[in-house]
Amino acid sequence: MKTFTEVLLNYFQKLNINLPKNLEIDNIQMDSKKVEKGSLFIAINNGYNYIDEALKKGAELIICDKSPTNESEKIIKVLNSIDFLQNIAKLYREKLCTKIIAVTGSEGKTTTKDLIHGVLSTKYKTQKTLGNYNNQIGLPFTLLQLKESDEIAVLEMGMSNLGEIDLLSKIARPDYAVITNIGDSHLEFLKNRDNVFKAKTEVLNYVNKNNILVYGDDFYLKNLEALKIGFENKNDYIINNFIEIYEGVNFFLNNEKYFVPLNGLYNVVNASFAIALGKIFEMSYDEIKNALKNIKITSMRFEKIEKNKILFINDAYNASPVSMKMALNAFSSLPLNKKGSCFR
C-alpha cells in the first residue's frame, strides 16, 4: 500500500508529527484479532484496550485518541480516532483512480450492491462494502481496504438521520449513485418520508446527473433528473414480461431477456440497476446476462433453505414495513412445486 503510506506520512507531516522511519503499511485494521505484521491499527471506541495485543502481533503503527500508557514510538495519539479514520480515508480516496458507485435507499441496498458487484466483477477488478459496513465508520474503513489497482468499488451508504449521507459522500466522492427507493426506514428520527427523501438524496450533490440511477416508479424519485428504472413506460429502462419460477425470475429489460436467481419483483428492479451499470461500463449483453444468472448475494435476504421437503424462507436480516410487505408478496407468488417435490 505504497500510496496509502504516502498519504499517511503527508497527513502527519502537516501536523508536525514524525512517524517511525522506513514506515511501510500493508493493511489497515480496527479489530486487534486481525492485526499482523505491517498493520496500521486504528483504535476505535474500546479498541484502546487492545493496543498491547496489537503491538505484540506486529502492528507497524497504532492510532488512538487516549493518552497511551505504553511509550512505544509506534503509538500516535490523535484528537478523535473516528475523525482520523474519516479524514485519512477521504485523502486516500482522492489519490485513487477507482470509480466509486454509491448505493443508498430505504430498502434493497445490500442486495443491489451485491448484484452490481456480481455483474461488474466479471469484467473489472471490483470491490464492495464489507458485510454491512455502510456507516460513518464502516464506509471509510472499506475505502481503506481498496488497492490502487481496483477499478470499481460499490459502496453501500446507510443512514439514520439528515446529514449522514452527505458526510459519507464527502469521504467517498462517488462517481455514480443508485437510489433504490424511499420508504419508512428511520422514521424514528426523520419522522416522515419527506425527510427520508431529503436524507437519501444528499448523495446527489456529489454526482453528475447523467450518472444517477433511481427507481422511476417511486413517488419521490420519479421527478429527479436521473436515469430511471421501473415497470412504467416513462422510464429509461423498462421492465416487463416477467415470469416468476422457483429458481428466480425471467424478465425483459428494454426488450432484452434476463434471468435473476432471486425471487420477488423488487429483486428484478435491483437486478436492473446492475444491468444498467453493466451497460454504462460497456459490458456486452451476453457478459451481463451470464454474470447475472450466477449471482451470489448476502445471506438472510429471501434466502431459501430446504430441509425434509419443507421450504423455509429466511428474510430476517432487517425488516421495515415496506421490505416485509415485499417479502410476503414474493413468498405468496413463489411456485410450490419444484422437480416433483411439494413444499408446504
Which element (helix H / strand E) includes 245? strand 237-245
Q: DSSP states of 44-69 as a string?
A: -GGGGGGHHHHHHTT-SEEEESS--S
Closest by Cα among 152, 162, 146 to 274: 152
Contacts for 298 with CB less than 8 Å, ≥ 6 apart = 110, 111, 114, 131, 317
* Amino acid 343: pLDDT: 35
* Amino acid 21: pLDDT: 74
* Amino acid 302: pLDDT: 64
> Which class does domain 2-86 fall in?
alpha beta
User: How far is 33 from 18, CA to CA, in rounded Å?
Assistant: 27
Asked if residues 227 and 221 have their Cβ atoms less than 8 Å apart, the reply is no
Give the amino acid at 42. Answer: I
* Amino acid 201: pLDDT: 98
Q: Which pTM does this prediction carry?
A: 0.89
Do 2-86 and 96-293 share a fold? no
User: How far is 182 from 121, CA to CA, in rounded Å?
Assistant: 28
* Amino acid 141: pLDDT: 97
C-alpha pair distances (Å), 221 with each of 189, 195, 200, 212, 217:
21, 13, 10, 11, 7
Task: Quote the cell numbers at residue 254.
Answer: 428494454
Closest by Cα among 68, 41, 66, 44 to 56: 41
User: How far is 300 from 316, CA to CA, in rounded Å?
Assistant: 6
User: How far is 158 from 155, CA to CA, in rounded Å?
Assistant: 10
CATH number of the domain at 96-293, out of 3.90.950.10, 1.10.10.10, 3.40.1190.10, 3.40.50.970? 3.40.1190.10
Contacts for 83 with CB less than 8 Å, ≥ 6 apart = none
Return the number of other C-beta atoms located less than 10 Å from residue 136's C-beta.
Answer: 17
Which element (helix H / strand E) includes 2? helix 2-13
Query: Where do the H-state alpha helices sit in 15-144?
Result: 51-56, 81-95, 109-120, 138-144
Domain boundaries, the chain: 2-86, 96-293, 303-342
* Amino acid 130: pLDDT: 83
Question: pLDDT tens across 174-207, in order?
Answer: 999 999 999 987 787 899 999 999 999 999 999 9
Closest by Cα among 166, 259, 161, 266 to 215: 266
* Amino acid 299: pLDDT: 60
SS3 172: helix
pLDDT in tens, the chain (344 residues): 889 999 999 999 999 998 877 899 999 999 999 999 999 999 998 899 999 999 999 999 999 998 777 788 899 999 999 999 999 999 999 999 999 999 999 999 999 999 999 999 999 999 999 878 999 999 999 999 999 999 999 999 999 999 999 999 999 999 999 999 999 877 878 999 999 999 999 999 999 999 999 999 999 999 999 999 999 999 999 999 999 998 899 999 999 999 999 988 999 999 999 999 999 999 999 999 999 998 877 665 566 677 777 777 776 656 556 555 556 665 666 666 554 333 33
* Amino acid 322: pLDDT: 58
* Amino acid 341: pLDDT: 35
Closest by Cα among 77, 52, 50, 47 to 65: 77
Q: DSSP states of 173-220 as a string?
A: --SEEEE----STTHHHH-SHHHHHHHHGGGGGGS-GGGEEEETTSTT
Asked if residues 274 and 112 have their Cβ atoms less than 8 Å apart, the reply is yes
* Amino acid 1: pLDDT: 81
Task: Quote the cell numbers at residue 88.
Answer: 485519512
